[in-house]
Amino acid sequence: MQLQDFALIRLLGDGTSGTVHLVREKSSGLLYALKSMPKFDGQGVEHGVEERNALLLLRGEHRIVQFYASFHDDQNFYIATVGIS
């Protein structure tokens, strides 16, 4: 999976740990929240891996966004999540 697999729709939020966009997966047409965390000085990767692992532990829990995928490129670590209903 890579960033090119998604079409950016709009910015959802921007904070100290990263930026979140609403995206549409091109192959399925499904919507996801895609968080990007810069890799500078390694903290983005470390925080991203910790966040991914926490989401994996909470998979299936009610009222928690659900992990879909994670990937990285040269500059960012990404986590895609599915909203709850």
CA–CA separation, 5 and 14 (whole Å)? 21
Q: What is the pLDDT along the chain (85 residues), one digit of tens a residue?
A: 999 999 999 999 998 888 999 999 999 999 999 999 988 766 667 788 888 889 898 888 888 889 999 999 989 999 999 976 5
Domain ranges of the chain: 3-82
Percentage of the chain beyond pLDDT 90 is 53
Sign of CA dihedral 45, 71, 19, 56: negative
Superfamily per CATH, domain 3-82: Phosphorylase Kinase; domain 1 (3.30.200.20)
Q: How many CB atoms lie within 10 A of CB 83?
A: 10
